Structure 1
Amino acid sequence: MRKGQLGFLAGTHLVNDLYQGAIPAMLPFLMSQRHYSYAAVSGLAFAASGLSSLLQPVFGALSDRRPLPWLVPTGFGTAALGVAAAGLSGNYLVTWLCVALAGIGIAAYHPPATSQARAAGGSSQKAMSVFSVGGTIGGALAPTLVTLVIGGAGFGGSPLLAVPALVMVILWALKGPWTRARGHTAATALVTGASAKAASNTGRSDDWRSFARLVAVIIGWSIPYVTVTSMVSLHAQRDLGESAAAGAAVLSTYTAAGAVGTLLGGWLGDRRGRMTSVRVGYLVALPALLGIAWAPAFPVLVLSAAVFGVAMFLPFAAQVTLGQDYLPNRPGTASGLTLGLAMAAGGLCSPAFGWLADTSGLPAVFYALLAAFVLPAVMATRLPDRTLTAPAPQSPPLAESAHTEQSR
């Protein structure tokens, strides 16, 4: 495990997903200051999480063909630009396009960054959870940052939201030569190649049938995840009479709990097997989602959201590595499909849930999510495990390539 590279990639993931979390955090302000309806803000959630995610498999396929490390800073830089521009726009169509631009940047970041993190962390579930938790922490910080900036300075202060990305781009420019000097790019390519060679040498071809089942499970995961992320803050304000700060607090609690769940899932996966993380996560998430729908008071909502966040992210790292082991010859494609196309379902369903919220209220939305979540939870408990280990002889060439890269 190359801890320095893994930690730096986790930092970039924090910044990238800060902007993924900033979009739902902006929705209550857009409703109060620009008077958007539930359907309108759900359309923005669609632009960020749905439409843009359809492009992640494309970026994943490109990263399988050859390493594209420049997509990492380009991705989170574009996301920052889109979020800042969305805050400055007063027109709904322009706002929608800016949010879509941010989503495209987020989509471009994930496949190459995830492949690099798998190369840096090897087969450890804990390593992938460290990378993943960087994004979860970024999502947890987003509501507080958005509330401070937009709540304090209005949408005119939106360019301040781009500061974290600017800082990380500078660090990437300084850090990039350091990682290349130690063979990071070559190592990423060789580990990807080693996985493919291991699959060929052991007769382990791509298992598309199991991978399709995993994608179906993640689709079922993404629908409640995206919808709860978009609407739990509004639920606290509109149904329980809480302030905008309280709404941001419950959203932060939900995403922070996701960070805890991601790390806990990696730890549990290394000790009890990754399928334990998957099964426990889905089974605990069901009663927690019921608590969100039923919550008669704000403390119950906060507690239910916290448990739901932990449970939903227990399987996260396991699902990423499981998808890559189902498709050992196409790790970038696997990352793009599990993190991208499957996640698109959540965004694609957002307008329908927005319409349901406008007509029947937010509690009806959460009860509908609960009913839809039962099937994927059952399917998750029946997913087969598959472990593909790269052969040991790959280690000397890796070190040799690192030395060659360093001499350049």
Structure 2
Amino acid sequence: MNSSTQTATVDSSTLAQKTVYSVLFSIAFAHLLNDLMQSVIPSTYPILKENFNLSFTQIGLITFVFQLTASLLQPFVGFYTDKKPKPYSLVAAMVFTILGLGLLSVSGSFWMLLVSVALVGIGSSIFHPEASRVAFLGSGGKRGLAQSIFQLGGNAGSAIGPLLVALIVAPHGQSYVIWFVIAGVLGIILLSKIAVWYQNHIILKASKKAVLEEEIVHLSSRKVTISIIVLLLLIFSKFFYMASMSSYFTFYLISKFGLSVQNSQFYLFLFLASVAAGTLIGGPLGDHFGRKYIIWFSILGAAPFTLLLPYANLFWTGVLAVIIGIIIASAFSAILVFAQELKPGKVGMISGLFFGFAFGMGGLGSAVLGYIADKTSIEYVYTISSYLPLIGVLAYFLPNIKKQKAL
């Protein structure tokens, strides 16, 4: 091998193994725009409920359709793009979301609402597996940190969305949802640039000049399967509880404390902002202390606070919502990277499976809890859902992964 070839190999290897913060923060901002637009759907529920005289069951069905379309396709998108990466599919995802929000702004019937949220869900199902792969490729080995930065963008968008809905849509009505299309246009511009970097990275990998580190997990296939199931059960507990907060927290505050729609949205913003903060904390801590311990703490550790929430006054409800958001949100990055390490080389499929399952559980949770709210009361929903984090005890069965770099 001549000196120029050696230099090219070293440079390519360094590029592949370096944490590319510009890419991580760019894909995180794209995630912010994507999830900001998606958060418009639950944030407009009080407005839609009044406009269309919806029951809680119908609101749950809207969320279920959105989460179903956002979840079912994701593992298949990830499986396909593991074999044939599609950098510009990120742009296509944003187009679907724009179409969905445009239709939502002019929907005149319940069925049009369902179609509009389904389009947004399809956009989500395309976006998340490939965007998560971009974060993985740009991580330089700091996978927990990379996923936390990526998730921080999404959670920040989810927190900002309700605030903007309170400021823009609540005072003026459903038609003002169209203003959120501006975020989609910005997303298309940004994702077009990210797609160029992604395409170049694929070319670099195909040239075999990049020496990428693979990690081998020394576990039996049975142990890996059991671990994946445990992680999915933890996702179930986290996102079923999160559904109670994201879909019904405003209704809970309005019903129990007599808040206005706008004031309740600010409390939802407070909760979602704490979720964003918890997300940023969880990944780096998992890199440093071990992901199993962070998973254990972030699910089971939220239980004392969720159990107290239904009995708190307005002030302590706000305080507890912040604590719960920080603790419970620290889990997802650790869970996702843990699963990726269990199945090396399957980044897209695992990302799609876990994002999809998370969205699916969120949708199912919203539908089930909406039905319970109709049959009982919104306060009762928070009493029964407060026990869900106790499922975190299952983290005991996760292995302590010992990795060995391939030679």
TM-score by length of 2: 0.88
Q: Is the 8 A contact 2:70 2:359 kept in 1?
A: no
1:93-108 counterparts in 2 under 5 A? Answer: 93-108=111-126
Match of 1:18 among 36, 39, 63: 36
CA distance in structure 2 between the aligned counterparts of 1:230 and 1:193, rounded to whole angstroms: 45
1:140 aligned partner:
159
Q: Which amino acid aligns with 2:392?
A: A
Is residue 38 from structure 1 mapped to residue 53 from structure 2 by the alignment? Answer: no
CA distance in structure 1 between the aligned counterparts of 2:292 and 2:211, rounded to whole angstroms: 26
CA distance in structure 2 between the aligned counterparts of 1:191 and 1:345, rounded to whole angstroms: 41
1:259 aligned partner:
276
2:291 aligned partner:
274
State the identity %: 27
**Which moves more between the two structures, 131-140 or 64-73?**
64-73
2:400 aligned partner:
385
Query: 1:328 Cα deviation (Å)?
Result: 1.1
Deviation string for 1:81-133 (max 9, x for gaps)? 21231131010011011111111111111111111101111332222211110
CA distance in structure 2 between the aligned counterparts of 1:54 and 1:9, rounded to whole angstroms: 23
Match of 2:369 among 331, 349, 353: 353
**Aligned-partner SS, 1:239:** helix
Deviation string for 1:216-262 (max 9, x for gaps)? 22122211112221001111112210011111111111111011101
Q: Is the 8 A contact 1:144 1:249 kept in 2?
A: yes
Runs of 4+ in 1 over 4 A off after TM superposition: 187-195, 202-206, 387-391
1:65-76 counterparts in 2 under 5 A? Answer: 65-76=83-94
Query: 1:180 Cα deviation (Å)?
Result: 5.3
1:276-291 counterparts in 2 under 5 A? Answer: 276-291=293-308
1:236-255 counterparts in 2 under 5 A? Answer: 236-255=253-272
Q: 1:239 to 1:193 in 2, by over 3 A?
A: farther
Is residue 2 from structure 1 mapped to residue 17 from structure 2 by the alignment? Answer: no
2:127 aligned partner:
109
**Which moves more between the two structures, 282-291 or 227-236?**
282-291
2:319 aligned partner:
303
1:403 aligned partner:
none
Q: 1:95 to 1:188 in 2, by over 3 A?
A: farther
Query: 1:283 Cα deviation (Å)?
Result: 2.4
Q: Is the 8 A contact 2:69 2:125 kept in 1?
A: no
1:130 aligned partner:
149
CA RMSD of aligned residues (A): 2.4
Query: 1:275 Cα deviation (Å)?
Result: 2.0
1:406 aligned partner:
none
CA distance in structure 2 between the aligned counterparts of 1:208 and 1:87, rounded to whole angstroms: 43
TM-score by length of 1: 0.88
Q: Is the 8 A contact 1:119 1:188 kept in 2?
A: no
Q: Which amino acid aligns with 1:258?
A: V
1:397 aligned partner:
none
**Aligned-partner SS, 1:45:** helix
Is residue 333 from structure 1 mapped to residue 349 from structure 2 by the alignment? Answer: yes
Query: 1:73 Cα deviation (Å)?
Result: 2.1
Query: 1:203 Cα deviation (Å)?
Result: 6.5
Query: 1:52 Cα deviation (Å)?
Result: 2.7
Q: Structure 2 unaligned runs (5+)?
A: 1-18
Q: Structure 1 unaligned runs (5+)?
A: 394-408
Query: 1:316 Cα deviation (Å)?
Result: 1.5
Q: Which amino acid aligns with 2:39?
A: G
1:125-274 counterparts in 2 under 5 A? Answer: 125-174=144-193, 176-177=195-196, 179=197, 183-186=200-203, 194=212, 198-199=215-216, 207-274=224-291
Query: 1:42 Cα deviation (Å)?
Result: 0.8
CA distance in structure 1 between the aligned counterparts of 2:47 and 2:356, rounded to whole angstroms: 27
1:313 aligned partner:
329
CA distance in structure 1 between the aligned counterparts of 2:244 and 2:368, rounded to whole angstroms: 10
Q: 1:387 to 1:136 in 2, by over 3 A?
A: farther
CA distance in structure 2 between the aligned counterparts of 1:385 and 1:73, rounded to whole angstroms: 38
CA distance in structure 2 between the aligned counterparts of 1:240 and 1:138, rounded to whole angstroms: 27
Q: 1:126 to 1:221 in 2, by over 3 A?
A: same
Query: 1:193 Cα deviation (Å)?
Result: 10
Q: Which amino acid aligns with 1:256?
A: A
Q: 1:210 to 1:360 in 2, by over 3 A?
A: same
Q: Is the 8 A contact 2:99 2:120 kept in 1?
A: yes
2:3 aligned partner:
none
Deviation string for 1:179-238 (max 9, x for gaps)? 258x3334577799956x654xx7667622311221122122211112221001111112
Query: 1:323 Cα deviation (Å)?
Result: 1.0
Q: Which amino acid aligns with 1:160?
A: W
Query: 1:342 Cα deviation (Å)?
Result: 4.2
Q: Which amino acid aligns with 1:379?
A: L
The count of corresponding residues between Structure 1 and Structure 2 is 385
Q: Is the 8 A contact 1:208 1:327 kept in 2?
A: no
Deviation string for 1:60-97 (max 9, x for gaps)? 11111121112222223312321231131010011011
Deviation string for 1:145-173 (max 9, x for gaps)? 11222123311222111111101212333
Deviation string for 1:280-323 (max 9, x for gaps)? 1112211222233223x322221111111111111121111011
Q: Which amino acid aligns with 1:11?
A: F
Q: Which amino acid aligns with 1:155?
A: Q
